[in-house]
Structure 1
Amino acid sequence: MRQAGPDDVAAVAALVEAAFAVHVAAVGRRPAPMDADHAWHAAHGEQYVLDGADGELVSSVVLVGQTDHLLVHNVAVSPAHQGAGRGRALIAFAEDEARRRGLPELRLHTNAAMASNLIMYPRLGFVETGRAFDEGFHRVFFVKQI
């Protein structure tokens, strides 16, 4: 895992586009991560990426530090690499980063229409804390104590 730089922005955008394309129909529009400012996150040290053996970008995560928690803002895995534990590895990295920063919990949200995420996050130890219509999306909020 490494911090993304300016040279990674286009590859991150393509990765996120591919990873979230499957959710467009369920959400009814482009999920928020597809339109995120990847250059901004990279420039502010919030974007982390993992390269595959061939140098291709296979996964990314955006981590935003807050005073009392670490926000997992976006998790994306290339469709060709999904189902191989990459998402779990990104969450494990986020947990390690929260510990390194001395933060007691991770927080994240997902779209209520992304059924697979609603199953996956509790399996990874997250607890649902609420649901709300937020920034134009029906979101489900989760927390995990570190």
Structure 2
Amino acid sequence: MILRPALPEEAEPLARLLAAAFLEYVRGLGREASGPYDWLPERIAAGEVHVAADPGGRVLGMLALTWDAGEQNLVVDLLAVDPACQGQGTGRALLAHAETLACARDARALRLHTVARYEHLVRIYTGAGYAVTHLGPRPKGEDDGHPRAFLMKPLRTEIGAA
């Protein structure tokens, strides 16, 4: 598996991957489709989108990252794996890649969130070393009535100190 920044020409295929990967997730929230993903070209150009690809170049999954300079955290805004590739380690590889990128920036922690009632996703993240810090409303846009589980993975020892 090759982990690398997304290429500009991958914006459209990544939008299709996101639509497929998030279909059941958004249906569980009462929506028919995910998206729009018109932000992809800008985020790819900024180096904020990374992909997992097979040796032949087929994209298996992707993540979008934001650097929170104030908190010195790398935020995983979005993690998606092609439904045909789920359960094969692609998501874990992408999370490990995010951690490598975070450590290269001397980040204090990695952060992410997901819908709290999607316990299978919370288990995936806690299994990768994240801990639920709190539950709360959707952080961007209007509250959709589905509380989010906010998770953090400390990367420096002083984060975990009491």
1:70 maps to what in 2? 74
Q: Name whichever of 41-50 and 130-139 sits farther off.
A: 130-139
Scaled by the length of structure 1, the TM-score of the pair is 0.91
Give the distance between the partners of 1:113 and 1:11, measured in 2 at CA.
29
Q: Unaligned stretches of 5+ in structure 1?
A: none
2:152 maps to what in 1? 143
Given the alignment, which residue of 27, 43, 60 partners 1:58? 60
Shift of 1:112: 2.2
Query: Are positions 1:109 and 2:110 aligned together?
Result: no
Tell me if structure 2 keeps the 8 A contact 1:23–1:31: no
Query: Are positions 1:29 and 2:31 aligned together?
Result: yes
Scaled by the length of structure 2, the TM-score of the pair is 0.82
Give me the CA root mean square deviation: 1.7
Question: Of Structure 1 and Structure 2, which has the larger fraction of its residues in helix?
Answer: 1
2:94 maps to what in 1? 90
Shift of 1:30: 5.7
Number of aligned residue pairs = 145
Q: Percent identity?
A: 32
Give the distance between the partners of 1:101 and 1:31, measured in 2 at CA.
35
Q: Unaligned stretches of 5+ in structure 2?
A: 156-162
Structure number with bigger Rg? 2
SS in 2 for 1:93: helix
Kindly report structure 1 stretches of 4+ aligned residues shifted beyond 3 Å.
none
